[in-house]
Amino acid sequence: MDRPAFSNPSPAGPRGVRTRSTRRRGVAAALAAAGAISLALSGCGTSASPSAGPTAQAVDPASAKGASGSLSICGGRDSVGLYKGTVDAFMKANPGITAKYIVLGATTDDARTQAVQRLQAKSGECDLFLTDVTWTPEFASQGWLQDMTKVTDAVKGTLIPSTVATTQYKGKSWATPYYTNAGLLYYAKDKVAKPETWKQVYAEAAKAPGNGLVYQAKQYEGLTVNFLELLYSAGGDVIDGQGNVKIDSPETRKVLDFMASGVKNGSADRAVLTYEENSTRLAYESGKYGYERNWPNVYGQLNATPLKGTFGVAPLPSFDGSSKGSGVLGGWNLAISAFSSNPGAAVAFVNFESSPEWQKHVAMDYSQAPAGEAAYSDPEVLAKMPFAQELLVSVKGAKPRPVSPVYAQISEAINKNVHAVLAGDSSTEDAVKKMAEQIKAAQASF
């Protein structure tokens, strides 16, 4: 699936990854036998000590000066040309460095699988990895990344603080933001009201045929994100800062009941249970719906259809007006491999892509959400992305997904059980209990 513009989904990592810890193998086997959730994911892969990150090699920002030689950046499919465009512009500005972009997989999941395999093998093929914001704790805890704290600190003054937070684990930065993302609501201005609360959205959607809401409710990472957007907006959480599981809560029950009712009463078409980002977009483009929850890159795509000029764009709303709306922070970072033979050139590339000037091009030329804050008020950017201020509100107000080395398992526990409730295959109470149990089991496996 095409996921160029946001932090997407890696519901499952490489299967059958071997660990060094007999205890972890035993836990994983026991959980599998109990039918809890699959732990044969790379989040429980090679088991470097959690303290490996803080003792990793620190990158010197000064190493970028006079850097030369070859540089390889590895990541997912370059669907909109941003990665190639950045590489080409970087080489033009740095003629002493020959850079290339290596595609590791067509989807986020494929890219993660290929990255993990290379890192486990201590391969030097990739100097820089394009990393989903949820991968930071896992990759850092395994000792796969170099400590980029000084590099990121040198540029973070120009970046949105929430994007910098996605690079951090155990008090250090293990990457530098490339571009970010947060969800938005697109709405048909001639049919429905501008979204103020989720309750209002669902009520408007149920009023008449053609008013409905479409979003991502297939059993995958996208459903995790959509659920968390409502949960955070209702004041709930998954785990706290100390790792304590908080998902067994009244807020979780309220949100699950609300979403399930929306499918039952037609506020959301039941077809959303099969929708990912692209299918959501295509459904809305049919003109048969009033609201679409999706990512910023959809704006340009909608403007290339007969719907141009008919829709508005708004930040995600609060749940019922009693608390602030909250998105879920997405995006991609650049992390220097622990096995890179040219970290100086890697730092030079990071400095280039995170510069205010290039961050403008991220928005203007590639319709992605820049990590650099100044871009959102730049006249050239606003001419191409008139909803930039709404997007900035969403990014600044967005919360991260649960920060954990076993995030992949946590996400699977969420989307599997939420999907069961929306499909009518599970009660809310059973789903909440299972989510809490499976998240605790995943944590115990690390």
pLDDT given for residue 55 in this prediction: 63
For 347, half-sphere exposure in the C-beta direction (CA atoms, 13 angstrom radius) is 25
Per the domain annotation, does 34 fall within a domain?
A: no
Same domain (yes/no): 340, 324: no
Same domain (yes/no): 230, 296: yes
Same domain (yes/no): 433, 307: yes
Per the domain annotation, does 234 fall within a domain?
A: yes
Per the domain annotation, does 416 fall within a domain?
A: yes
Same domain (yes/no): 322, 411: yes
CATH value at residue 300: 3.40.190.10
The encoded tokens of residue 295 equal: 């990512």
The encoded tokens of residue 321 equal: 């007006």
Decide: residue 415, CB within 10 A, 0-12 exposed, 13-18 middle, 19+ buried.
buried
Same domain (yes/no): 270, 378: no
Same domain (yes/no): 428, 303: yes
User: Rounded to the nearest 5 degrees, what angle is found at the Cα of 293, between the Cα atoms of 287 and 294?
Assistant: 100
The encoded tokens of residue 258 equal: 């609300």
Instruction: State the helix-helix crossing angle for 250-265 and 198-207, rounded to 10 degrees.
Output: 10
Per the domain annotation, does 30 fall within a domain?
A: no
| 177 vs 173: CA distance, rounded Å | 10
Per the domain annotation, does 94 fall within a domain?
A: yes
Same domain (yes/no): 272, 414: yes
Per the domain annotation, does 238 fall within a domain?
A: yes
> Residue 180: what residue type?
T
333-374 confidence digits (pLDDT tens):
999 999 999 999 999 999 999 999 999 999 998 888 999 999
Residues of the domain holding 389: 48-181+329-397
Per the structure, how many domains does the chain have?
A: 2
Q: What is the DSSP string of 149-212?
A: HHHHHHHGGGB-HHHHHTTEETTEE--EEEEEE--EEEEETTTSPPPSBHHHHHHHHHHSTT--
| 320 vs 395: CA distance, rounded Å | 20
**Can you tell me whether residue 103 is helix, strand or coil?**
strand
> Residue 106: what residue type?
A
Identify whether the C-beta of residue 316 lies closer than 8 Å to the C-beta of residue 322. no
Per the domain annotation, does 148 fall within a domain?
A: yes
Q: Is the pTM above the cut of 0.85? A: no
Same domain (yes/no): 256, 175: no
Same domain (yes/no): 247, 323: yes
Identify whether the C-beta of residue 174 lies closer than 8 Å to the C-beta of residue 53. yes
Same domain (yes/no): 297, 346: no
Per the domain annotation, does 54 fall within a domain?
A: yes
| 195 vs 200: CA distance, rounded Å | 7
State which residues of the chain have pLDDT below 70.
1-55
Same domain (yes/no): 299, 323: yes
Same domain (yes/no): 230, 131: no
pLDDT given for residue 20 in this prediction: 35
